[in-house]
Amino acid sequence: MKPLKVLATVLIVIVAISALSVGCTEGAKFEVGSLEISPNPVAAGETATVSVEVTNVGGSEGAYTAELKIDGAEAQTEEVSVAEGDTGRVAFSVAKESLGSYEIEVGDLKGTLMVVRPAEFEVGPISATPRVATLCKPTTLKAEVTNVGEIEGTYTAVLQVDGVEVETKDITVAAGKKATVSFRVTKDDEGDYDLAIGDSHIVLPVRPG
């Protein structure tokens, strides 16, 4: 009988230890950090991404529900599953039509999203060098492009000759800055040509050499 009693005692101890271990297992516990807003500022109507890192510092895998608040009001929720000791990232897409600043909040983290006027371009007067072109010789056209918006943007400059598109160039201009776009034109017929870049026009005389 003694061996049976010993065996029963061992089993009881094992069960007790197992129960104690289960009772001491820590559940999932999360820490939220690294708030990012990109791009920021963003043009009105365009999409910005708000993201945070979620780290599971607990003892088991779990799911975390991240809540995005904009100006204190709940806007979106996203759930992410994170294994014990791992870090996941949760992201939200935000687009606003109204200009201004918006307070962004995820958990205890806060940031500011700036919504600004989109890039908008104005093309200045066109210069031609030489001013009177010679048949079969190139003429250089230049125009200044000004970004009157509040964010960097890319302008596609279109050169038209007598209303027909002949060439395009992309030019990136920072907010409130100017950049110069240039084209080269060669004509093999004498005459006066209407050249346009955007809304700017110039008449280029082409004469024999």
Residue 66 tokens read as 């991240």
Model pTM? 0.72
Q: Average of pLDDT values for 3-31?
A: 55
pLDDT of residue 2: 52
Asked if pLDDT for residue 206 goes beyond 90, the answer is yes
Share of the chain above pLDDT 90, in %: 87
pLDDT, residue 18, reads 47
Of 14-18, 79-83, 123-127, 136-140, the poorest mean pLDDT is in: 14-18
Question: pLDDT at position 4, please?
Answer: 46
Identify the residue with better confidence: 181 or 9. 181
pLDDT, tens digit, 9 for 90 and up, residues 150-167: 999 999 999 999 999 999
pLDDT of residue 209: 82
